[in-house]
Chain A
Amino acid sequence: MKQRKRILLGLFLVVFSIGMIYFLNDEGPTRILVNLMTFAGIYSISAIGLNIHFGWTGMLNFGHAAFMGIGAYTTILLIPHAAGREGSINEEGLPLFIAIIIGLVASALFGLLVGLPAIRLRGDYLAIVTIASSEIFRLVVRDQENLTGGVYGVISFSDIFQNIRPKFLEDLALNLDVSAGQLWVATVSWLMVILLILILKRLQNSPWGRALRAVREDEDAVRALGKNAVWLKLQSFMLGASIAGLSGILLAFNYGTLQVEYFVPLLTFYIWAIMILGGVGAISGPIFGSILFWAFISETDQIAALIFENADGQQIAGVRFMLVGLLIIGLMILRPSGIMGKKEELLLDVK
């Protein structure tokens, strides 16, 4: 399939799923749409990071949630915030921009920390180590209440981010009857998605990107040709981790609170689902994947309600997972390479 056809297919699916939202919701479809697009933007960023790990370099990273979490916690704890049960506000903090940079670096360093011992492992062994390290991160954060707020989380940190919100967004939010705060997070997220796509377009066919793909194909051959495969994998791990960190930071600002339970392994698997839906290895895959994924998630409630009469919230939540599973199974049968992926570069046969 040609690139144009793939884009058309992606656009069709996006328009179709957004249309479904308007069709299935009589009340406040715009609000649902803005909510959906915010999450879609944030998860796109994360899936772009994962795509570098898996799609470009072939590394099975199942600990992506931890990279998001490290970025979020580092940045949020460096700006004014209130943490823990007491919740007393810590007024001192770094400027937002600097805190974000430090957060991104922290994510990259955590990637290096996990990567150094683990990167020589191949395939599923790396997957086991990464999922374990992400759980270790989550449990340590939950345990260190003095620093991270533990199970009580972190609150009151959004002001510094919302204060730089441009005026016109507020008028727009008022017109659309949506939350101005969320609209701002959505705007920043999608600007970041565009920026990242531009950067990755540059990298993908560059000598560096080519070297990553060679590592994905055959590490021994890379070493035999005089290239340091371990260092290339570490670089890829760090870049992807810091992109995930950015998405974690935006996730925290979107919720307005920071809870350690955001970063459960389920988050990692959502990101995987998005990457696979969009097309492994395709730069713009995560965008289509995440919009489709979130549209589907938000529509499943209505679909479930259509199928089962009198279903309560918990039952619907169960049905939601089944439907997401069906979506992925269906797509894998019809288009195993995802929406934007090339059939010739199908990556799901991991060594």
Chain B
Amino acid sequence: MSNNIIEIKNLKKNFGGLKAVDINNLNFERNKIISLIGPNGAGKTTFFDLITGFTKQDSGSTFFDGKNISNLESYKISRLGMVRTFQLTKVFDRMTVNENVLFSASSLKNDRFLNSLMKSSITSNAEKELNDKTAEILNLVNLYHMKDSYARELSGGQKKLLELARVIVQQPKILLLDEPLAGVNPKLSEDILSLIGSFAKQGISILMVEHNISAVMKVSDHIVVLAEGSVIAEGNPEEIRSNENVVTAYLGKSND
């Protein structure tokens, strides 16, 4: 088994005449916290959409865990163990917090129409086990006291936590987080970062897009910088900090 969890070759996507993503060669190592940074409009979210199957790529190939997932449907990619969150949180507003996590944790077999109709003892036992599991996860993200509230009653930061709970309950191989700290207060940011760190310790690879550079520098093992759809730099935080291309991409070129 290769040491790379994701390998990308010649990934291209254009929107009309706009080149959104154009990446020649990019690999992500296993069991690392990797951050994807870049100015607004650099193609970070499009890149997420492409590798998770939410947007069709124009050309190129993506390998996940050695398997070619280019052009695979999004839900199938997710089933392989690559699960994502969204920039704007997408919790199920009119379901309870617990149901949000239960839905995610429930197996495909458990979800089947006939099993639900027959309500076999296997299903109800499975539901009991699921409830134990979701209780544990909700305790972990400190939302257990809200478990019977509707998700739309949560604050913005709590919704981010719920989204984390919902993805982590699936024990994915890699977690793709789209701006997990956006709009979150500093205290909660700390909590979310330490949660992300603990997921990584459990052997889950993390790939995140984040604008909070100081947080990124603190937790990341590896940083990839995107600008105008292409990789302009990658390396550990120290290397990125001193990279001139990165400074130029963020702040513009100085005139002298």
Interface residues of A (CB under 8 A from B): 199, 202-203, 206-211, 213-214, 216-218, 220-229, 235, 239, 344-345, 347
Contact = CB atoms under 8 A, between A and B. Distances in A.
Given A225-B166, A235-B113, A210 B106 contact: yes
B116 A209 contact: yes
Nearest to B127: A207
Contacts of B73: 223
Nearest to A231: B75
Contact of B92 (A203, A221, A344): A221
A202 B75 contact: no
A213 B91 CA distance: 12
A226 B83 contact: yes
A208 B112 contact: yes
A227 B110 contact: no
A214 B116 contact: no
Interface residues of B, number: 38
Given A207-B110, A211-B111, A228 B75 contact: yes
B78 A202 contact: no
B251 to A, nearest CB: 34
B116 A206 contact: yes
B142 interface: no
Contact of A217 (B74, B93, B112, B123): B93
16 contacts: A207-B127, A208-B113, A209-B116, A213-B92, A213-B99, A217-B92, A217-B93, A220-B86, A221-B86, A223-B73, A224-B83, A224-B85, A224-B86, A225-B166, A226-B78, A228-B75
Nearest to A208: B116
A239 B113 CA distance: 10
B78 to A, nearest CB: 4
A225 B112 contact: no
Contacts of A223: 54, 73-75, 78
Contacts of A213: 92, 94-95, 99
Residue with the greatest number of chain B CB neighbours at <10 A, chosen from A223, A229, A345: A223
- Closest 5 pairs between A and B when the two form their complex, measured CB to CB: A206-B116, A226-B78, A208-B116, A217-B92, A221-B90
Nearest to A347: B94
Interface in B73-89: 73-76, 78-79, 83-86
A316 B90 CA distance: 49
Nearest to B103: A214
Nearest to A58: B94
B220 interface: no
B18 interface: no
A206 B119 contact: yes
Contact of B106 (A207, A218, A224): A207
B196 interface: no
B106 A211 contact: yes
B113 A224 contact: no
Given A207-B110, A208-B111, A211-B103, A221 B54 contact: no
Describe A's contact surface by its main secondary structure. helix
A227 B75 contact: yes
A207 B78 contact: no
Interface in B97-125: 99, 102-104, 106, 108, 110-113, 115-117, 119, 123
Nearest to B76: A226
B63 interface: no
B91 A221 contact: yes
Interface in B15-69: 52, 54
Contacts of B110: 207
Contacts of A224: 52, 54, 74-75, 78, 83-86, 90
B71 to A, nearest CB: 15
B174 interface: no
A218 B92 contact: yes
Contacts of A214: 92, 95, 103
Nearest to A221: B90
B117 A218 contact: no
A131 to B, nearest CB: 26
B144 interface: no
Contact of B116 (A207, A217, A228): A207
B167 interface: yes
Interface string B168-211: 00100000000000000000000000000000000000000000
B90 A218 contact: yes
A344 B94 contact: yes
Contacts of B91: 217-218, 221
Nearest to B53: A223
B16 to A, nearest CB: 22
B103 A220 contact: no
A208 B112 CA distance: 6
Contacts of A228: 75
A234 to B, nearest CB: 11
Nearest to B112: A208
Given A207-B110, A207-B127, A210-B99, A199 B117 contact: yes
